[in-house]
Structure formats: structure tokens, C-alpha cells
Amino acid sequence: MYLFTPDEIDRKRANRQAENQGVGDVDCKRRGNLGELAFEQFCREYLPIELWEWKNDEAIRTCEPECFSSFDFEVFGYEVDVKTSRDVSAFRPAKVLDNDADDDIVVMVWHRDKEDGLILLGWERVETLQSKAASQESYSGAEPAKLDHLAARPMNEFLDLGPNTAHMNQKPQNPFAPGDRVVKSSETHPDVGIVIEVLPPEAEPSVYGHLLEGEAINVAFPVDLNAAPNDWRELHPALLAAHCAEHGIKRYTYKHTNLEKAETRLIPGDRVVKTSHDDPDTAVIVGVGNGTDDESVTVVYETQLDGVDDIQNLPENANRYTYTPEELDRVVAD
């Protein structure tokens, strides 16, 4: 068996994609997404990357409706569908076949009540399930209820799924995560970018017509993010890729080795408080220096904004105040 524990980004994306899919049962679709994530992580750890493909990789990352495909994965040339359930009796051959009998292999994933842990129970060829279902139908006598789930056993172990059982660890190795602030290492006065999504190591995207070798991330810049109708700062980092896809916000692809973190850098639109004030009012940054000779930060307090969200169209009578970055703390949305 293989245990997968989804993190907050996995859970947020699985739920939002289920909502955007427009299905009637969002809970069921979310659990199905988590089951696919569990199997993807298993494949990434144990199977050669060139021999499997997840059909819904980008759809989950950007929370968009899935691409049209009758199966979830292609593994060693076989069509593989992932079935996720809390009820192990759902994995009985007849029930599995009733839901989908058109694939080559079915992977069975059990989830805990809180969906905080998923266990890959095993896999089975559809033709074997058909044989088991036929045998069960002709079986004389009533099965005890507590043995219902045993009809799906013994299932194949996951280490038998492919020729390579070594721990391959094909997960992203870069240090960035969605929501991180980054700057380009080689520039003297770099603009601050926001990490939108970490691409799979095997993605090898094309940048300006050239294949980018090595792990990559997608970055968006505040000037583009601020132009969208809702505040990207109030979104969970897991949903930034979906936000960009929904509003057509330009994303730029970089090798992670060409970037460095800039978590302390303040950018226009950030909400801040002055640390020396006992009961500080919240201010909005409307300008920053060039980061080398001039590190000053210009703010306008929210009490003077009169409900104006666009910092490019501030009230004429709004007073501006200038501070050093050390005097301010950034206010982060929950």
C-alpha cells in the first residue's frame, strides 16, 4: 500500500477544480481529484517519468475543467482510471465495472473521513475484474456482509505495476512555492515577481522558442496581477495559477536557479502598518524606491482612500507618507 498525505495546496486546488468542473457532487469530484494526486505522487516516486502521463496535470494546477479523456493516466501504454472511495465495498468488481469498464487498469484509492490521508490499496486489470464479477455472480450462497469487500482481493501491489521499483524521487527540487516573492539573480534592479506555479520537473517548457532545460516555475508580476478585478493578495497561493488563467494574466517561465527569494521586498499595493505605532492604521504602498540607492516606501493610509482600490487613481487630497522598509510590517490576508 502507498499512503499519500495531501498538503494545503493539493486540497485547495482539488476543491476549486471540482467547483469549476460544474459537476453535481463537488465532494465526490474533489475526492476523485485527491485520488489522482495520490497516484501521480506514487508514479513520480517509483515509475520512470517517460513511461507514464497524467492527463489532468495542468487542469488541476490551474483549477480548470479537465481535458477530454476517458481515463486519468497512461502508464506503460495502458489506460488507467483512478477510483476513490471511503467505502471499501465500492471496490467490489461488479461495482467498479458498473462505473467504468472501458479502461485497461483500475487503481483503487481509499480516503479517510477528513480526506487528510489517502491509501492506494492496489490495482487490477479490468479483464480480471470482469472474471471476478462473473465468478461472484455464479457463487451459490449468501456472502456475510463483513466479507463484501474481499471480492476485490487479492489485488496487485503497486510495486508490481512496472519494471522499475527503485525510489526515483522525481518531485520538484526547487525551493519555491506558489505565493513566494522572487527576483532575478542577474539583474541590478530586478522587479519583484510572484511565484504562480511550480512546473513538474519533466515539463521542459519552451521560452522564446528555445527548450528550457531544468526545473522551471511560472511567475507573474504585480503590475499585471493588480490589473485584475479582484485582489490577488487575498487568494490562497494554491489558487494563483487559476486566478491568472481566469483573467488572462501573463505568466513568465524561469529556471528556478536564475531566481532568488525576495520575501522582505515590498511592492505597490501591499497593505502595511507602521511598527512604532501603538494602534497602527493600515496603509497601502503606492510607490517604492529603486531598491539600491533609494529604498524609501511611499504609503497612503486607508482612511484617506474613500473606498478607492486602484492605487493609480488615488484621491487628490490623499496625503502621502514616506518610510524606510524597516519601519513597516506587511499585512498578510488570512
| 154 and 79 belong to one structural domain | yes
Residue 266 falls inside a structural domain: no
Whether residue 24 is found in the same domain as residue 130: yes
Which of 97, 126, 160 lies at the terminal end of a domain, its last residue?
160
**Residue linked to cell 502595511:** 272
Q: Are residues 11 and 154 in the same domain?
A: yes
Please indicate, yes or no, if residue 175 is contained in any of the structural domains. no
Give yes or no: residues 210 and 300 share one domain.
no
Residue 210 phi, psi dihedral angles, 5° rounding = -115, 140
Residues of the chain with pLDDT under 70: 67-69, 136-169, 206, 208-209, 290-294, 307, 309-310, 333-334
Residue 72 is assigned to a structural domain of this protein: yes
**Which of 157, 81, 85 lies closest to 122 in space, CA to CA?**
157
User: Into how many domains does the chain fold?
Assistant: 3
- Show the beta-strand stretches assigned E in 99-159: 105-111, 118-125
Partners of residue 322 on adjacent β-strands: 298
The range of the structural domain enclosing residue 69 comes to 2-160
Q: What pLDDT was estimated at residue 151? A: 45
Segment 14-42, tens digit of pLDDT: 999 999 987 788 999 999 999 999 999 98
User: Does residue 166 lie in a domain region?
Assistant: no
Do 227 and 314 reside in the same domain of the chain? no
- Residues 94, 125: one domain? yes
Residues 123 and 40 in one domain: yes
pLDDT digit string, tens, across residues 320-331:
899 988 899 888
Query: Could you tell me if 255 and 275 lie in one domain?
Result: no
Secondary structure E strands in 166-276: 181-184, 193-198, 206-207, 210-211, 216-220, 252-255, 259-261, 271-274
